[in-house]
A and B are shown apart, each in its own frame.
Chain A
Amino acid sequence: METTKLPPSSPSSPTTSFSVPSAEKVDGFPRRSMRRARQRRSHSSSQFRYQSSQVELTPLPLLKDAPVAELHDLFCKKLQQCCVLFDFLDCVADLKGKEIKRAALNELVESVATSRGVLIEPLYPEAIKMISVNIFRTLPPSENPEFDPEEDEPTLEASWPHLQLVYEFFLRFLESPDFQPSMAKRYVDQKFVLQLLELFDSEDPREREYLKTILHRVYGKLLGLRAYIRKQINNIFLRFIYETEHFNGVAELLEILGSIINGFALPLKAEHKQFLVRVLIPLHTAKSLSIFHAQLAYCVVQFMEKDATVTEYIIRGLLKYWPKTCTQKEVMFLGEIEEILDVIEPSQFIRVQEPLFKQIAACISSPHFQVAERALYFWNNEYILSLIEENCQVILPLVFATLYRVSKEHWNQTIVSLIYNVLKTFMEMNSKLFDDLTASYKVLVLVSLQQRYGAVYTQAHNIHTLISEQEYL
């Protein structure tokens, strides 16, 4: 095989092979409007199929009425009862059973949250089993193969009425003062965490929100799993960047990482630096950057605040992946650069100023006014301005020609006036340098004009001579 085929493992890819009807394919462009017009059910669940035969549930006595001696036994029975799964796509099926399970889950949540001494060792495997049975499932294929989280409505999980309570229970369980990591770690193991991470691909934002908090608690309480969790998140990101470009939970995972990075010990381990350079920075190349950019930028800045020496890697990395055609992403990159410059150390700034300001100059001359505007806003930031002032000798020559040229020819008046302000600032900073640059720029323009048109002038002159000679003859 000459090319490595990407596994059709993302929920979207298998669909593409047949989802575009031939009638729409006629001109090769499946039309968005048509795809949307298609009938769509907004709920989906692949949970139900694993149940072999349906069990009839009978209500158990209430936990609060149970004598202390029987409490644990009843708790256990309720957990077992909650292992039964229901078909939520058929909303009228087994309503009685669904209600019994919902009530049981509610009781379990309340009991874990409020009463002390409930969580004893024998309950751990039962609780984790109940959680696993309910939440771990292969996520269904996406309803919309080209799901765009920014524009399309997400498909919601149909079994949410139960699922939410299970997540709630899990969260209370982890947060309970009685929770003993030493007991839990036997059941919340690597395999469990891996499955938990896979669920972050859920299209349902409510589910991802719960998962985020839960994973955060697991990371905080089960120290033995930390390295493993970080490694698996790495794998998810790398697969997202280089294989599928599809994973719904990137933003949530980054949010967790933001606080993980915050807690890194100094000096940074090689593993963490590698994570920054080989995972976080390349994440900027993703097509769907806008969905998780805020969280990503936060992580990046966290790294810098931890250890200023990574600044150069970060800035050079961003410059390497600078968007070439997508102006929307360019604006995001500029935003991130500003966040970085906000906390940059002056000594680090000097190391990157040259390539950085070449890029900023390129942005200022962008015909897209939002890009130019975003870049010019840097001059409104006092800290950045102070950095520029300190290094005026280097920076002004880098941007001067662009500023001068764009001030004369940009189509957008706001940009022109912003540029005048910037030029004014520079003039006040260092009028001598400014004048020198103005003078040499004018010479340069003349020279280039001459180069460009010189040949034409010569030719014109020759023709003129020729004509006059002929006339003379």
Chain B
Amino acid sequence: MFGAVNALGEALVCQALHRGVKTQQRRREGPAAALLWQKPRSAAQQRHSVTAILSKMAGADGDDSLYPIAVLIDELRNEDVQLRLNSIKKLSTIALALGVERTRTELLPFLTDTIYDEDEVLLALAEQLGNFTMLVGGPEYVHCLLPPLESLATVEETVVRDKAVESLRKISQEHSPVDLEVHFEPLVKRLASGDWFTSRTSACGLFSVCYPRVSSTVKAEIRQHFRTLCSDDTPMVRRAAASKLGEFAKVLELDYVKSDIISLFTALASDEQDSVRLLAVEACVSIATLLPQEDLETLVMPTLRQAAEDKSWRVRYMVADKFSELQKAVGPEITKNDLVPAFQNLLKDCEAEVRAAAANKVKEFCENLPEDSREQIIMTHILPCVKELVSDTNQHVKSALASVIMGLSTILGKDNTIEHLLPLFLAQLKDECPEVRLNIISNLDCVNEVIGIRQLSQSLLPAIVELAEDAKWRVRLAIIEYMPLLAGQLGVEFFDEKLNTLCMAWLIDHVYAIREAATCNLMKLVEKFGAEWAQNTIVPKVLGMANDPNYLHRMTTLFCINALSEACGQDITTKQMLPVVLKMSNDQVANVRFNVAKSLQKIGPVLDSNALQTEVKPVLEKLATDTDMDVKYFAQEAISVLALA
């Protein structure tokens, strides 16, 4: 133990050094007295406590290397938040140095008192304490961590409180069943009956971790507390309880799920505030999973039906958002009878928000329908709604649909796709909103598997061309990213014929991000179509740009060469690209010249040693004497990386 402490002490010596003077002074300040961690209220007292630690520690093992630790401890009280924060983050070091006993008796009470600090410090503290079990002496003593965490679980700031609850949940697992009842559960009870809503909110997250491991009488108490919080007077607490309802249901015995949880669920799902009701929808998924199929109809479905038709769009939105989970939880029969009409309604909801959330789930919902009736349900119930959504007034709805609609083709098969879906795809490919078109194009692979992309190519091309020339560069960027995919699916001839010109045009786009993406795109195309194709179609055009009057275009040549050399291989690189690069070393623009140096460094590994020595080396040596300092720098760097010196 002491070995470890000394090592740590040494590690921190450098930290102590720049504070050396102060520490030295304090060290000389004489004998220690009194208890260490009393709340010092004045600066003088503060210094006193540090001195006390110092001399105590030094006295204990006669070792100066502990002083850095004392500095850390001192910093826990520094006026500067950043220093306090740094120190809190090294809390485990401090605790390790103090040893388990003094961590328990001195450090923890001290920390419990610092709870008035800045939220940032408290957050760090709450996190640290979750990993403190070994530092206070293992599971036997883990309950010592409860007092500071309890205070942290009551503060106002949500992130601090949540972190404290997270740590409490973590250390609850390290409690023995006895300790859980003696120490942990009383804490939960205290929080659950706290005056201010913050402590009650925190309590909601702690029931489920202690419930499975306590005696049945305590279990009954816990259930009672949870019930009380579900009908708390403040909506904040009811929201917290509603959000933990599903989790709590999972640890309860099935009988209690039926007797207790269902009534709480029903009550929360009809709360006067929609922010509470919508959280009950989330719980619905877990509860439905727990119950046997035969009970679902009576216990869960009435509430779920009500939620799907709630007067608040937020609740309906939540139902739409959780639809796939709900579908899995209630099983195929209820899905067929209840969820299909509910889903239809959500797809036709009067709020665009809800429709978009439902549209997002179309594919997943259809996929998970029972196989025996899947096709029939989709064709007669879902598809008509989908058709309407294609011409929805809201673009978010359309684009949500566009991102999943292609997935339906795999479910419906070739014939249905051609007959029913294809017209929808084509309509969306012509949509006025670029996002919708983009979403269709980005999912072409699903259709390709079913009907082949040729069916679409006639409409695809105008859509692609239009996106490729969109006024917004972000749209152009997005379509470039799909080019390799499209090229793979459309095949090399179609590509050469229709898309090649686009790809080359992007290289001289006036936005750098587009030129950069276009370069990267070329590399991917070469990987797909091979070096020979590159040599015939791309390389000549790229190299032609080396003579462009615009230096930005000349640089693009270099960037393309950087990207293509590896994919094209040694032959093309040496014979075709290298001469161009070398020639450009005489460019009048310095930016071009130093990019020549960078390019040479990049393509060097692809070249053979002969070319390197006879051609590259002289050019780089010349550039290394350039008048421009950047050119010099990059030339020298290239020389050293390629080991040409």
Chain-B contact segment, one of A11-19, A292-300, A400-408: A11-19
- Alpha-carbon gap, A34 to B470, bound state (A): 14
Q: Which of A15, A24, A48 contacts B353 (CB 8 A)?
A: A15
- How does the 8 Å CB contact mask read for B278-312 relative to A, with 1 for contact and 0 for none? 11000000000000000000000000000000011
Closest beta carbon of chain B to A145's beta carbon, Å = 10
- Complex partner residue of B272 from A2, A15, A39, A191, CB under 8 angstroms: A191
- Asked whether B474 lies within 8 Å of A26 as measured between CB atoms, the reply is yes
* Cβ-based interface call for B438 (8 A): yes
The answer, yes or no, to whether A8 is at the interface (CB within 8 Å) is yes
Which A residues lie within 8 Å of B311 (CB)?
Answer: 50, 138
Tell me the complex Cα distance, A38–B234, Å: 39
Do residues A23 and B474 form an inter-chain contact, with CB atoms below 8 A?
A: yes
Let me know if B244 is at the binding interface, CB within 8 A: yes
Please tell me which one of the listed residues B272, B313, B317 contacts residue A194 in the complex, with CB atoms under 8 A apart. B272
The contact string, 1 if C-beta is below 8 Å from chain B, for chain A 182-206, is 0000000001001000100000000
Nearest-CB residue, chain B, relative to A142 = B353
Listed stretches A238-246, A374-382, A383-391, A421-429; interface member = A238-246
Q: In the complex, A5 Cα to B165 Cα: how many Å?
A: 13
Q: Which chain A residues lie closer than 8 Å to B158 at the CB level?
A: 4, 242-243
Whole-angstrom distance between the alpha carbons of A142 and B478 in the complex?
A: 28
| A46 CB within 8 Å of chain B | yes
Given A18-B360, A140-B313, A282-B156, residue A26 in contact with residue B278 (CB < 8 A): no
Residue A49 at the B interface, CB < 8 A?
Answer: yes
Partner of B278, one of A8, A198, A238: A8
Whether A242 contacts B474 by the Cβ 8 Å rule is: no
Asked whether, in the complex, the Cβ of B236 is within 8 Å of the Cβ of A238, the reply is: yes
Is A458 in contact with chain B by the CB < 8 A criterion?
Answer: no
Please, which residues of chain A bring their CB within 8 A of the CB of B274? Answer: 9, 138
Knowing A9-B274, A15-B353, A141-B351 touch, does A278 contact B477 (C-beta < 8 A)? no
B475 partner, pick from A3, A23, A243, A278, beta carbons under 8 A = A23
- Chain A nearest CB from B545 CB (Å) reads 25
CB pair B472–A34 under 8 Å, yes or no, is: yes
Of the candidates A21, A50, A191, A198, the one whose C-beta lies within 8 Å of that of B399 is A21
On chain A, the residues within 8 Å of B312 by CB distance are 138
B25 to chain A, nearest CB (A): 14
The chain B residue with its CB closest to the CB of A279 is B156
Whether B475 pairs with A14 at a CB distance below 8 angstroms is no
B244 touches A46 (CB 8 A): no
B236 in contact with A4 (CB, 8 Å): no
**A7 at the binding interface (Cβ < 8 Å):** yes
**Roughly how many angstroms separate A27 CA and B517 CA in the complex, as a whole number?**
13
Produce 1/0 per residue, A40-58, CB < 8 A to B: 0000001011100000000
Known A14-B353, A18-B360, A243-B236; judge A138-B314 contact (CB<8 A): yes
How many Å lie between the Cα of A18 and that of B162 in the bound state? 27
Chain A residues, Cβ within 8 Å of B434:
21, 23
Whether B396 lies near A235 (C-beta < 8 A) is no
Instruction: Tally chain B residues at the interface, Cβ within 8 Å.
Output: 55
Q: Given the complex, which residues of B lie within 8 Å of A140, measured CB to CB?
A: 313, 351
Name the B residues within 8 Å of A11 (CB-CB): 314
B23, chain A: closest CB distance, angstroms: 16
Question: B133 near A: Cβ within 8 Å?
Answer: no
Instruction: Tell me whether A1 and B279 are in contact (CB under 8 A).
Output: no
User: Which chain A residues lie closer than 8 Å to B313 at the CB level?
Assistant: 46, 138, 140-141
B240 at the interface (CB under 8 A from A): yes
Q: What residues on A are CB-neighbors of B474 within 8 Å?
A: 23-24, 26-27
Report if A21-B435 is in contact (Cβ < 8 Å); known contacts: A5-B243, A138-B314. Answer: yes
Residue B235 CB within 8 A of the other chain:
yes
Q: Report the nearest B residue to A141, measured CB to CB.
A: B353
CB < 8 Å neighbour of A2 from B166, B240, B400: B166
If over half of B's interface residues share one DSSP class (helix, strand or loop), that class is named, otherwise mixed; here it is: helix
Tell me which of A3, A9, A18 contacts B166 (CB under 8 A): A3
Q: Which residue of A lies closest to B312 (CB)?
A: A138
| B247 beta carbon closer than 8 Å to chain A | yes
Q: Is the CB of A1 within 8 A of B244?
A: yes
Q: How far is the CB of B359 from chain A (nearest CB, A)?
A: 9
A22 at the interface (CB under 8 A from B): yes
C-alpha gap A191/B513 in the complex (Å): 56
Assuming the contacts A14-B353, A22-B478, asked whether A9 and B314 have C-beta atoms less than 8 A apart, the reply is yes
B108 → chain A closest CB, angstroms: 24
Known: A34-B472, A238-B236. A3 touches B244 (CB 8 A): no
Q: Is the CB of B351 within 8 A of A1?
A: no
Asked if A22 and B240 sit within 8 Å, CB to CB, the answer is no
> Could you give, for residues 106-119 of chain B, a 1 whenever the CB lies within 8 Å of some chain A CB and a 0 otherwise?
00000000000010
Q: Within the assembled complex, what's the spacing in Å between the Cα atoms of A11 and B354?
A: 12
**A9 and B275 in contact, given A1-B244, A18-B356, A46-B351 (Cβ under 8 angstroms):** yes
Q: Among residues 469 to 496 in chain B, which have CB atoms less than 8 Å away from a CB atom of chain A? A: 472, 474-475, 477-478
Interchain CB contact under 8 A, A7 and B236: no
Q: Is B197 on the interface with A (CB-CB < 8 A)?
A: yes
Whether A7 contacts B477 in the complex (CB less than 8 A), given A141-B353, A194-B272, comes out as no
* Contact (Cβ within 8 A) A14 B357: yes
A225 vs chain B, min Cβ distance (A) = 16
Whether B314 contacts A4 by the Cβ 8 Å rule is no
Contacting residues, chain A, for B477 (C-beta < 8 A): 23, 26
Let me know if A23 and B435 touch, CB within 8 A.
Answer: yes
Say yes or no: is B350 at the interface (Cβ < 8 Å to chain A): yes
Measured CA separation A23–B476 after assembly (Å): 8
Considering the chains assembled together, what is the distance between the CA atoms of A210 and B77 in angstroms? 51
Instruction: With A4-B240, A22-B478 as known contacts, state yes or no: A239 contacts B435, CB within 8 Å.
Output: no
- The residues of A that contact B438 with a CB separation of less than 8 Å are 21-23
- Given the known interface contacts A26-B477, A138-B274, the answer about A14 and B156 at a Cβ–Cβ threshold of 8 Å is no
Contact with B along A106-131 (1 / 0, CB 8 A): 00000000000000000000000000
Q: How far is the CB of A31 from chain B (nearest CB, A)?
A: 8
Taking a contact as CB atoms closer than 8 A, the residue among B243, B318, B433 that contacts A4 in the complex is: B243
Q: Give Cα A228 to B239, complex, Å.
A: 19
Contact of B256 with A by CB under 8 A? no
Q: Which residues on B are within 8 Å of A, measured CB to CB?
A: 118, 156-158, 162, 165-166, 169, 196-197, 205, 234-236, 239-240, 243-244, 247, 272-275, 278-279, 311-314, 317-318, 321, 350-353, 356-357, 360, 395-396, 399-400, 433-435, 438-439, 442, 472, 474-475, 477-478, 513
Provide 12 A-B residue pairs closer than 8 Å at the C-beta atoms, listed in order of the A residue. A2-B166, A5-B243, A14-B353, A21-B434, A23-B438, A23-B472, A23-B475, A26-B478, A38-B395, A194-B272, A235-B234, A238-B234
* Beyond A23-B474, A243-B239, A278-B156, 7 additional pairs, beta carbon < 8 A: A3-B166, A4-B240, A8-B278, A15-B396, A18-B396, A21-B434, A26-B477
9 interchain residue pairs of minimum CB distance: A9-B275, A21-B435, A138-B312, A23-B475, A141-B353, A26-B474, A49-B350, A23-B478, A14-B317
